[in-house]
Structures are given as C-alpha cells and as structure tokens.
Structure 1
C-alpha cells in the first residue's frame, strides 16, 4: 500500500492512531534539501510538511488522538537531531510525541515485524512500514489479525508509559534552528 493510501486511513479512524518509530535515519529523498539546509545551519523551509500537518490538524480536530513513540539511539544521529528540532511542527498540528532512548528500554522487549515501524489505527488495524536501503518509503502492509493487533496494543501501552514527553526530553547533542 502506498503511503498516500495509508494516509487516507486517517480520514476513517474514530479514536486513536499510534506510530512506533524505530529507525535512527529516515533520510527520504523529499527531505534531502531541507535536511541539508539544517545541517548547513541555514534557514529551513518546512513547507513540504504542510500536507502532513494539515492531515493531522483535521484528524485531531475530529477528536482523534495521534501519538508517536520514537525509540532512538543516543547520542542522536544527525537525522534524529533534525527530527527532534521539527517535532514542534508535529505537535502544533495536534500530535503527541514521546521519546524513548534505546538504553532505557525494559529488558526483554522485542519488536515485531523484524523491527519495522508501524501505525496502529483504532486498536484494530496495523500498517507496517517498509523502506528501501536508501531510505525511500516503499509502502505499508496492512494487518488486522486480532492476536497480532493485541500484541501491538500491549507494546504501545508499555512504551507510551516509559517514553519521555517531547517537552521533557533534552538530549545533549541538540542545536536549535530557524525555519521559514
């Protein structure tokens, strides 16, 4: 399923969307210019995020909760530092984002789907993300198997309680940037 089709699922969910992010780099081609500008210390034009932030505003204004847990390696990679600096845009659009450094993961936690990222919609549908080695998004696979979904609901709940709210997460190797 292409990303655009997966994003249309936000129009039909009623209560909750949760995203588990496990990668330390999401260098996708459409972010190359803004990411390079950020690395160079230049002003960054984040207008490419507008379709996503508008989708999130519409979703959360309907009363749907949208949450993310980002499991990250410290010290943060350049990409995750950039992602950290852009999180305010996600939160302004209504998302609630928490961070979980890998070294704080509870012992014995295993991630399903070979450690791929996933979205959980209304506790009954999963969209498992697939990426090419160069970071390109290949799409998602939908799963609605009740046992698999239940396993992911439990993992979501565990990670959410352990993760640090964005406003409280202060990694050491962060720098502020401007945006347009």
Structure 2
C-alpha cells in the first residue's frame, strides 16, 4: 500500500462529529500502552502523525486519520488503564458501544495485543465484544522485536487460544521498530478499504 496522504482530521466524542463522507473506517482497539499509535505511524510511514505517549490513557476520544482520501484509521481510547475515573470509563464505554454497534462505515477492527504477554481479561472482553457486534477483526500482536523469534510461534498459540481464534481468524505479528508484519497487515486490511 502506497501512502500518498495521511492527515489527522478530528477527535470526536460522538456521532455528530464523525466524518459524513461515507468512507470506510478501520478502528484500532487495544489496551493502553500496547502500541496502537506506533502501529498507525509505522503503517502510514509517518514518524509522529499519531502522538505516542508514555502516559497510558491519553486517547480519550475517537481520533480520525484520513488516508489517501480513501479511508480512515480511527484510534479508539485504550482500555484497562486503572487511573481513569469510573465516570470517564463509563462515558467511553457508552461512546464505544454506540460506535461499534451502530457505525455503518466501520468496516473492520484491528485489535492490538502485546505478543510478549497472554491476553489480559480486558483483551478477551474486547475480542468477545467485537465478535458480538459481528465486526470483522484482525488481531495484531505488537512488539514482536522484543522477544526471540524462536518464541513467536508459542506466544502466537497462547494468544489464539485465549482469544478463541480459529484457523480462519487473522492473527499477525508486528513490530513498529523493524516493520515486520506491515505488508501482511495491509494485505489483511485491503478487503475492507472500499
């Protein structure tokens, strides 16, 4: 995929602010600090289009990025971060439920997990949640450069088992440092880009 243009468009808190041009949307969901921002930057060949943060829980809205005037990446708030107030969590929950259940332009979700660890309870919950809404899910295990190649397969099996992934489900390894998995991720996404 050749990226000619990638622009931040809006941080939306509800449907009134979502773009109305009807382009397909790829949402990115994952735990706080799992590497969603780094994934987006690497996929788009940009250094700092999406700000990466040392502080988890920084993304609190749906951040829209328009790619090649053809589709959007939508960065959704990271989950599982304890220092966020209960009221904030509930507000995000409602916003995300509405987005995942009702947004017709949402064509697929990239569920980002950390290859180094078994999926958390929140990871499993998110996967089940997306399955419940019938959204196509591409699971991407980031930070592949942080563990030896010899352990990749066994870690992958743990993730597939814990998330209940079948042989037909996409599970890709990715590294925002080395670029491993970038081409595979674009191949997996291409059917959903319009």
TM-score range, shorter chain: 0.3 to 0.5
The TM-score with structure 1 as length reference comes to 0.38
The TM-score with structure 2 as length reference comes to 0.36
Bigger share in helix: 1
